[in-house]
Structure 1
Amino acid sequence: MTTRATRRTVLLASGAAALTAGCGSGGDGNRESPDTEGSPGQALLPVADVPVGGGRILGAEEIVVTQPEEGRFKAFSAICTHQRCLVSEVADGTINCPCHGSRFRVADGSVERGPATRPLPEERITVDGNTIRRA
């Protein structure tokens, strides 16, 4: 038995293919590594702008830089591992997501409180004099 493509089946197949292509992100939704990375050596912010025990969120760069202890700086993706919201605050030793309340520790990006189950991916930075840069 031979089946013939009708206009309706062709349009349905084309529409499904377009929807699938339009919704795909090229990944599984996990943000283990950034989709786009800034230039190595790019100046991010002055050391003085990152409080001890706290941090600063750089929304455009999607990075949060923390200083868990005096003179020790860390950086993590600012995209929550739960549902990819941009974190909004660093307070009381945690990096906080406004969408569902996940909290991550400033020292290592690990989950302090869910619903996130994976830590924030670490970003590579260097301290060059008084400036924090991408590594």
Structure 2
Amino acid sequence: MTDHPKTHLPRPLPRPLSRTVLTRRALATTGGTLGVGAALAACGGDDAAAPVAAPAPGETLAQLSDVPVGSGVVVQDADGSAVVIVQPEAGQVAAFSGLCTHQGCAVTLRNGELDCPCHGSRFDLTTGQVLKGPATEPLEPLPVQVDGDSVVAAP
């Protein structure tokens, strides 16, 4: 009887389920896809700001002297909602909701425009029209009037 050495090839060990090997390309693609998805979820696909509640008629919003001619101010009404008041010409006033129509963030007055610090929308100071998105709708106009030295919400 001849002794033949048994040829024994080891079987490969099974790959553990908890360990996944990702190539750089797969990791970059997955990370990019997740990042884009997160960004879209954060911004939403459409303008989803809450409905605007107008200040109560007769409510004093600002003193006319506090609203620069050719510019404006952002104030809060009695309910704490942001209101933009502008005075394009001496004695003429207009007002808009101070909430961005994209997602409802309060706008700020900057460089002669109304800017949304949340997603970068920009609005015309005197008309509330969209200058740059993602907002697609203008700021909601609010009725105001001059009463003596005050800017008040109109009926």
Fold shared per TM-score above 0.5: yes
Runs of 5+ in structure 2 lacking a partner?
1-46
Query: What's the CA shift string for 1:70-96, capped at 9, x where partnerless?
Result: 332110011101111111x21332111
Report percent identity of matched pairs.
43
* Residue 123 (structure 1) aligned with residue 155 (structure 2): no
Question: Counterparts of 1:1-135 in structure 2 under 5 Å?
Answer: 29-31=48-50, 34=52, 36-59=53-76, 60-87=80-107, 89-135=108-154
Aligned residues: 105
User: How large is the RMSD of aligned CA atoms in angstroms?
Assistant: 1.8
Q: Which has the larger radius of gyration?
A: 2
Distance 2:138 2:89 in 1: 19
TM-score by structure 1 length? 0.69
1:14 alignment partner in structure 2: none
Specify the code of the residue in structure 2 equivalent to 1:130.
D
Runs of 5+ in structure 1 lacking a partner?
1-27
TM-score by structure 2 length? 0.61
Deviation, 1:61, is: 3.1
CA distance change for structure 1 residues 91 and 68 in 2, over 3 Å: closer, same or farther? farther
> Which portions of structure 1, spanning 4 or more consecutive aligned residues, are displaced by more than 4 angstroms?
none
Deviation, 1:69, is: 2.8
Distance 2:61 2:138 in 1: 22
* SS of equivalent residue, structure 2 residue 141: coil
* SS of equivalent residue, structure 2 residue 65: helix
